[in-house]
């Protein structure tokens, strides 16, 4: 069993507050550029826009989104797949571990809450760098293009132009069944197909999640601060994956300048992106094929499940996944530990 260590959290917050200014290092990139590139990736047809998702049953879509987010966060942080059936003992162990982590997070609420404004400011300062990291990863995964290579910008512009031309020919009817596509996409993210068996598994998972969260302590920290810290750690992980630079390292700025020096930043910011292509980048071009299958599913237990605490739990687990060094056995750091004290006093 592990909990969030006060010493580790204090050290992390200190490192974040000591980061140098990144203002002016990276130009701003249009979000439509990243969306267009991502839409060319294999399997992108399942992606849907937020407005399209909203057209589905509000309760069903909200709970499916919460389930997908929590499933992904728990799998990344603890290796547990909530979309699959868990034994009674496995569920009890998961509940005990999550309770310890929530209690330790609550014990550090004061430290985290007071850092909220500085975390928000740092997140905003790093947004351009995050967009660059996402663009590098999207171009590499979707198109196999190394942006440092000679001719990369010309190749990328050609692919964007070709995508815009193809997208312009797609009928607006493609989004008619976008809500069904949203459901299929969320189910796919949890490793489920679109069939009656998968629907039954999803209903059972929703009920299990609701039961799990009923037995957990309430998270009592400033959710904005928790969200910003979680986002910052995910951002730092994305930048490390894209540029090979650890922003928490002592020589981060030197390494970052070296990594950026090999990239055509001005040319990237000047790429042409079709308004039509970016507007339809998230349209499901095969929505009609899955619409009838989704319509036949019985997901009533998903829609009715009480998953109100899932968003907060997902934030916490996302933080733990991207900052696993924060977790330690209670009392192991040698500092006064309220969680270890409670454990010692419990009969």
Residue 210: per-residue pLDDT: 93
Residue 232: per-residue pLDDT: 94
pLDDT in tens, the chain (347 residues): 788 888 899 999 999 999 888 878 888 877 777 777 776 665 444 333 434 444 446 788 889 999 999 999 999 999 999 888 889 999 999 999 999 899 999 989 999 999 999 999 999 999 889 888 888 888 888 788 888 888 889 998 888 888 766 655 544 444 445 566 778 888 888 888 888 898 999 999 999 999 999 999 999 999 999 999 999 999 999 999 999 999 999 899 999 999 998 888 888 888 877 654 444 444 444 444 556 677 778 888 998 999 989 999 999 999 999 999 998 887 776 666 656 554 444 44
Residue 332: per-residue pLDDT: 74
Mapping DSSP onto H, E and C, the string for the chain reads: CCEECHHHHHHHHHHHHCCCCCCCCCCCCCHHHHHHHHHCCCCHHHCCCHHHHCCCCHHHHHHHHHHHHHHHHHHHHHCCCCCCCCCHHHHHHHHHHHHHHHHHHHHCHHHHHHCHHHHHHHHHHCHHHHHHHHHHHHHHHHHCCCCCCCCHHHHHHHHHHHHHHHHHCCCHHHHCCHHHHHHHHHHHHCCCCCCHHHHHHHHHHHHHHHHHHHCCCCCCCCHHHHHHHHHHHHHHHHHHHHHCCCCCCCCHHHHHHHHHHCCCHHHHHCCCCCHHHHHCCCCCCCHHHHHHHHHCCCCHHHHHCCCCCHHHHHHHHHHHHHCHHHEECCCCCCCCCHHHHHHHHCC
- The answer to whether 19 and 247 have CB atoms below 8 angstroms apart is yes
> What Å distances lie between residue 282 and 63, 99, 144, CA to CA?
21, 38, 20
Q: Give pTM, 2 decimals.
A: 0.80
Residue 319: per-residue pLDDT: 94
- The answer to whether 328 and 3 have CB atoms below 8 angstroms apart is yes
Residue 177: per-residue pLDDT: 53
């Amino acid at each position: 069993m592990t909990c969030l260590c006060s010493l580790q959290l204090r050290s992390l917050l200190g490192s974040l507050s000591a980061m140098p200014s990144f203002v002016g290092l990276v130009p701003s990139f249009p979000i439509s550029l990243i969306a267009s590139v991502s839409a060319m990736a294999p399997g992108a047809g399942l992606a849907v826009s937020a407005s399209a998702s909203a057209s589905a049953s509000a309760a069903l879509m909200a709970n499916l989104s919460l389930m997908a987010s929590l499933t992904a966060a728990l799998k990344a942080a603890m290796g547990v797949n909530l979309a699959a059936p868990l034994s009674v003992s496995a569920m009890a162990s998961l509940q005990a571990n999550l309770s310890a982590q929530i209690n330790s997070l609550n014990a550090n609420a004061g430290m985290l809450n007071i850092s909220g404004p500085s975390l928000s400011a740092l997140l905003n300062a790093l947004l351009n760098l995050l967009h660059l990291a996402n663009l590098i990863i999207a171009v590499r995964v979707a198109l196999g293009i190394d942006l440092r290579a000679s001719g990369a910008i010309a190749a990328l512009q050609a692919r964007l132009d070709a995508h815009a031309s193809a997208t312009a020919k797609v009928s607006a009817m493609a989004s008619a069944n976008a809500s069904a596509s949203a459901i299929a996409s969320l189910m796919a993210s949890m490793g489920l197909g679109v069939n009656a068996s998968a629907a039954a598994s999803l209903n059972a998972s929703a009920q299990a999640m609701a039961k799990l969260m009923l037995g957990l302590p309430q998270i009592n920290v400033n959710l904005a601060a928790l969200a910003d810290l979680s986002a910052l750690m995910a951002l730092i992980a994305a930048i490390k994956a894209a540029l090979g630079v650890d922003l928490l390292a002592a020589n981060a700025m030197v390494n970052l300048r070296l990594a950026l020096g090999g990239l055509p930043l001005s040319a990237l910011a000047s790429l042409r992106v079709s308004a039509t292509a970016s507007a339809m980048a998230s349209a499901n071009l095969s929505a009609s094929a899955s619409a009838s299958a989704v319509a036949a599913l019985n997901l009533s237990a998903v829609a009715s499940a009480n998953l109100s605490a899932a968003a907060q739990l997902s934030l916490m687990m996302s933080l733990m996944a991207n900052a696993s060094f924060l977790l330690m056995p209670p009392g192991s750091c040698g500092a006064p530990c309220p969680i270890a004290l409670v454990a010692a006093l419990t009969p």
